[in-house]
Structure 1
């Protein structure tokens, strides 16, 4: 997964306030509950030494996602009295959390973007009789998304309505349009729902390569404004999957590791590779939400990280700071143009829960 959505965050210098807040709108007293949660977090930030201007900047956007219905959350980052990043969370955080520190607490936001699978959702249904001379219409809704963020940030949507009598020809044209759309968005899967007859006509007229990625699901489920098309069906189809692009990176890592070249493993080796800008993709075991991570030492640059203060001092970094490893690793991945892939520990065992697919190797690369 590319971390380009974090670029605005790392374009700023800290210290940062990082806020994760449940902003669900699934109860009658939602606004009051959000205000109470924020009041507790605001007090936490004040006790941690956050400046008033940064707390106020966060407060201005707390609950500003009122147009997003249902269960969800909000991630807010501010620095020096300015809003840096405000992102919708597809699920509420396990606990409302506020932190003030030199680096932003970005790993929980990254975890909410996983597995970031690109897909198309398509719903077709008709009114009338499925015969060539029948009156009535076939309605089509299609949407591109990246799961699970599309739950609260739906993508581009296509709407079509055609006479039942012209559906066979229209379905062929629509099939090619969907194929081009899937290629452009890199969709791994097409989730097709709706009426059986109209759906069968479209399915048979899809180009073969796209047809092989189709998963048929139950009847139409109209999406609420601000929510993904076919949200529950898409969740069922994609649950437990990994994006095809990430899966390819994992397979490349495993093949190279078996050959003993082109990878690094373990925290020390991964950190060293990030220092040199060698990492194509950093593989991590799933983070333990809201648990403290072991520390690393960091400097102002994203590649300035090390296991010891002495190592950074030897690189000429003045006044290194001791930071959580997850915060330092995410910043290094984003800042060096690498990708992040989270893999289950039982599927891909990694020393220290860290592995790296390398762009290049040299004699100085430990663990390569």
Structure 2
């Protein structure tokens, strides 16, 4: 999960109001419950010390939320009397939550915004293809189409020698169109940055397209027998196949990342490529060496207190580390929020490690990192 969308948060010093909000149902009773929830959120912010201007900015934004447009809700980040960022959630929060703290409350965003892989679906027939992008939130987006030669594309039933010649032309058309589809699909994959590609439609043509894709695209491509290019061919089975492809992509990525993490931890007979625990991860964050931040929800280190200065790389385990914290007054913060802010600032990736994916306690304490280059960690 990339946190580049959090960039606006890095330009404001805080403190921050963070609100995770579910607008509920789009009916009269839902509207009443929504109104009461908005009041509760604003009251909580006031009790925690939020200023009036910021509380009113939050109130205005929450009042304008629409269940139709944001069925799973939104997270708001506000400071200085304005909502700096409003981000759509892909999963409903269990209940509205509000906090007023020195840093934005980022950790819940990982699970509520999701790390579902971006999926590029190609609906293929023997004359062309339509491409559709499926992201974690929002409706499927049109991602282009390609049309190949339209004639000849249909075989005949006769065995006459002239008809056999015609059938050869048909197969040549299919192959030509498959090559065009593969080229266009590779371009759409590069432009979208999709994590997985799903081929839907004519069995022969999608197999030919698959074989003609560049190796790096073919490696993340799967086929499904469900659905097709024709209007009305979508089905529950197709949606299930697409979702299975996305989840298999995510499981594979987690497994590969954990394999790299296990191999790179301190204690191997080569330079360190991975670290775990708050002191080591803080040290890596301070030096902009985190390539992938690993977060295991429920780990005890996530809510450990540490210290942060105004800049994302001004982090330390102890307040006395004045050089690391800069000239400003350091503030006590949660480890997960400070390290996620640092990851957003340095374009590091973030990967949630679900509890069921690991049999051993890794990363230790719930926080770890793969590094951009090997080094020997220093004391934090």
Bucket of the pairwise TM-score, normalised by the shorter protein: 0.7 to 0.9
Over 3 Å counting, the alpha-carbon distance change for 1:70 and 1:14 in structure 2 is closer
The answer to whether structure 1 residue 175 and structure 2 residue 182 are counterparts is yes
The answer to whether structure 1 residue 191 and structure 2 residue 198 are counterparts is yes
Question: Which segment is superposed worse, 87-96 or 25-34?
Answer: 25-34
Question: Which segment is superposed worse, 70-79 or 21-30?
Answer: 21-30
Separation in structure 2 between the aligned mates of residue 32 and residue 90 of structure 1, nearest angstrom: 23
Task: Give the C-alpha shift of residue 156 in structure 1.
Answer: 4.6
Query: Secondary structure in 2 aligned to 1:83?
Result: strand
The answer to whether structure 1 residue 350 and structure 2 residue 376 are counterparts is no
Gaps of at least 5 residues in structure 1 are: 126-131, 133-137, 224-229
The answer to whether structure 1 residue 214 and structure 2 residue 222 are counterparts is yes
Separation in structure 1 between the aligned mates of residue 291 and residue 351 of structure 2, nearest angstrom: 10
Q: Is the 8 A contact 1:282 1:355 kept in 2?
A: yes
Gaps of at least 5 residues in structure 2 are: 155-173, 232-237
Separation in structure 2 between the aligned mates of residue 25 and residue 161 of structure 1, nearest angstrom: 42
Q: In proportion to residue count, which structure has more helix? A: 2
TM-score by length of 1: 0.77
Give the equivalent residue in structure 1 for 2:165.
none
Give the equivalent residue in structure 2 for 1:227.
none
Separation in structure 1 between the aligned mates of residue 334 and residue 376 of structure 2, nearest angstrom: 29
Query: Secondary structure in 1 aligned to 2:242?
Result: helix
Give the equivalent residue in structure 2 for 1:252.
260
Q: How many residues align?
A: 343
Q: Over aligned residue pairs, what C-alpha RMSD do you find?
A: 3.7
In the TM superposition, 1:1-368 aligns within 5 A as: 1-25=1-25, 29-62=29-62, 64=64, 66=66, 68=68, 71-123=71-123, 141-146=130-135, 148=136, 151-152=137-138, 154-158=140-144, 168=174, 170=177, 172-193=179-200, 198=202, 200-206=204-210, 207-208=212-213, 209=215, 210=217, 213-216=221-224, 218-219=226-227, 233-239=241-247, 241-242=249-250, 249-257=257-265, 258-262=268-272, 263-287=274-298, 293-312=303-322, 317-344=327-354, 346=358, 349-360=362-373, 365-366=378-379
Over 3 Å counting, the alpha-carbon distance change for 1:287 and 1:219 in structure 2 is farther
Per-residue deviation, residues 48-97 of structure 1 (Å, max 9, x unmatched): 12112112222332264538557411111111111210111011112210
Query: Secondary structure in 1 aligned to 2:104?
Result: coil
Q: Is the 8 A contact 1:72 1:152 kept in 2?
A: no
TM-score by length of 2: 0.75
Q: Is the 8 A contact 1:191 1:214 kept in 2?
A: yes
Over 3 Å counting, the alpha-carbon distance change for 1:292 and 1:41 in structure 2 is farther
Give the equivalent residue in structure 2 for 1:129.
none
Task: Give the C-alpha shift of residue 118 in structure 1.
Answer: 2.6
Larger radius of gyration: 2
Task: Give the C-alpha shift of residue 366 in structure 1.
Answer: 4.7
Query: Secondary structure in 2 aligned to 1:277?
Result: coil
Over 3 Å counting, the alpha-carbon distance change for 1:176 and 1:303 in structure 2 is same
